[in-house]
Amino acid sequence: MAEITASMVKELREASGAGMMDCKTALNENDGNMEAAIDWLRTKGLPRQRKSGRVAADGWLVVSGGTSGAVVEVNSETDFVARNETFQGMVTDISAIALNTGGDHDALLAADYPAPKSRSKPHVQEMVGTIGENMTVRRSKTLSVSDGVVASYMHSQVADGLGKIGVLVALQSTGDKEKLDAGRQLAMHVAATNPLAVNVDSLNPVTLNANAPC
């Protein structure tokens, strides 16, 4: 039996639009023959609706900065797709839309998608058919200041602004924005420690009492 490589699976996915595991199975069933594997997938008639029921648990967070920032989580089923440039481009586009919708997640999903002309949610659904995996815009948040800067930090970064843990920190200041490196340092600290609140007064009283010394 021919050895099935990752590049062969990728090539078949790009040609057929089928999911990664289906492509791997098709190649195994046809001894690595690409044309026969494509015919096998067509004969199988993979139902697109099946993809929408699968769990989308992998993917990236993207952050944007300035005087306002947005952080968006978009998930795919596998890391294989999460590293796809088309998927990453879509995530970046959606983060730009999130900045304009002020943190309203429903508004983000209903907003116009730049190109091709569509809405964000239908565009994601179209990408499900194109890439061959279920994907979802799981959550989004925005942060802004009038005077100061919104600093960001992305942990485990794989591309500009794309990673597994994203943090936005707003610093209210009239100082030189170029010198506000403390914002990024603080964002890194937040990523490392995952604090419950900005200060004690912001803590949930139930949480505070539960951790109080006896």
What's the CATH fold of domain 6-46? Helicase, Ruva Protein; domain 3 (1.10.8)
Between 59 and 95, residue with greater pLDDT: 95
The string of pLDDT tens digits covering residues 129-163 is 777 777 888 888 888 888 888 888 887 777 777 88
The string of pLDDT tens digits covering residues 98-113 is 888 887 888 888 888 8
Distance CA 21, CA 113 (A): 29
Instruction: Report pTM.
Output: 0.62
Q: Are 130 and 141 in contact (CB under 8 A)?
A: no
For the chain, the structural domain boundaries read: 6-46, 58-194
Between 190 and 120, residue with greater pLDDT: 190
Q: What is the CATH number of domain 58-194?
A: 3.30.479.20
Distance of CA 84 to the CA centre of its chain: 11
**Both structure tokens of 86:** 């088309």
